[in-house]
Copies of this chain bind each other. A is one copy, B any other.
Amino acid sequence: MRIARSEHRTPDGPEARVVVAGPDGWNDVRVVERLRLERRGATPAAAALLATALVPGSLARGLDLGDEFGEALERAAEDSSGDAAVEPARFLVPVDPPAYRDFMAFEQHFVDAGRRFGHTAPDVLYELPVSYMGSVQAFVGPDDEIPWPSYSERMDYELELGIVVGRGGRDIRPDSARQHVLGLTILNDFSARDIQSREMAGNLGPSKGKHFASSAGPCIVTLDELEVEALAMSARVNGETWSSGTSGTMLWSIAELVAWASAGEVLASGTLLGSGTVGGGCGLELDRFLSPGDVVELEVAGIGALRNRLGERRAGGWFPEPRPRQRQAAEVG
């Protein structure tokens, strides 16, 4: 199944709709449900009200409804009536995640990128899947412009798989973890390398190096339709191929990433887990960086292509003033 979100205009401004690829094109899931309820005797107004509650514009809030929502997605995937057919003018980020956590599961990336930052790969990266939480407010979708923050000169992309959690849980074990996964999408974990390397010297984060924007899309494809261990992944900048790799080189399986993300904590439905950058999947590893106006296109076989253009660097942002060390001075004196 292929799941996406499209934007529609309304008198109250743009509205997100969940759409699913049917036998003959995209179907609007809420329309499929509204018409089904009408066939079961609901008045049009009552059917619209219940269909809106069952299929909200937020994919994450829909997933919170469990099987009831899952079956609505399946009905839309099978609907060949044409009654709910839509031709989306614009796709949105397919999920609005309540949490975004990015792993670092590709050895080639963390060895080679670490070297650029002057580090050797630490042992822990081979002992457990290390991750950080990113900003859910940062997400933009296909063809959205990437805002270039005033505090950075060195902009980069990162070619990743996005794992969308369909059913939340806690202490999920690897052998049942795939049942908690809705599917995969493409994730571009845009990175401001200059501020990132500065702040990561503080042993926290990264934060400002990432939060200005992350993109995901164009759709989510369920695991049964993908050869998960052998997905070809590539990145093009202004049409030139900069990166190519495969999902087969991950140190940890998708099931292990989901299990570890849920160990001892709540993993919410709709959470987006990043795989980490595929080997060679960013400019840092190539010593090439992006410029304003560049178009970055990430492609993953079986999912599609995610394209974003970099905006102009913003001017005039506030930046903190350094503080003097006090504690060390006191100890020396």
A interface vs B, CB < 8 Å? 98-99, 101, 104, 107-108, 111-112, 114, 119, 121-138, 147, 149-152, 171, 173-174, 198-208, 211-212, 251-252, 256, 259-260, 263-268, 314, 317-320, 322-328
Contact = CB atoms under 8 A, between A and B. Distances in A.
The binding surface of chain A is classed by DSSP as: loop
B327 A108 contact: yes
A317 B131 CA distance: 18
B264 A149 contact: yes
A134 B135 CA distance: 10
A295 to B, nearest CB: 21
A150 B155 CA distance: 40
B111 A263 contact: no
24 contacts: A98-B136, A99-B137, A107-B326, A123-B201, A126-B325, A127-B322, A127-B323, A128-B198, A128-B319, A128-B320, A130-B199, A130-B207, A131-B205, A132-B205, A133-B135, A133-B205, A147-B264, A150-B264, A204-B205, A208-B263, A211-B264, A260-B318, A263-B318, A264-B314
Given A151-B263, A264-B212, A320-B256, A125 B171 contact: no
Contact of A199 (B124, B174, B325): B124
B104 A204 contact: yes
A202 B135 contact: no
Nearest to A133: B133
Contact of A126 (B112, B128, B259, B323): B323
B137 A268 contact: yes
A257 to B, nearest CB: 10
A263 B317 contact: yes
Contacts of A132: 132-133, 204-205, 207
B320 A129 contact: yes
A117 to B, nearest CB: 8
A135 to B, nearest CB: 6
A200 B198 contact: no
Contacts of A129: 320
A270 to B, nearest CB: 11
Contacts of A134: 133
Contact of A111 (B150, B256, B317, B328): B328
A267 B130 CA distance: 26
Contacts of A128: 198-199, 319-320
Nearest to A129: B320
Contacts of A327: 107-108, 111-112, 121
A127 B150 CA distance: 17
A130 B138 CA distance: 18
A129 B125 CA distance: 26
A253 to B, nearest CB: 10
A235 to B, nearest CB: 20
B201 A200 contact: no
A160 to B, nearest CB: 14
A130 B328 contact: no
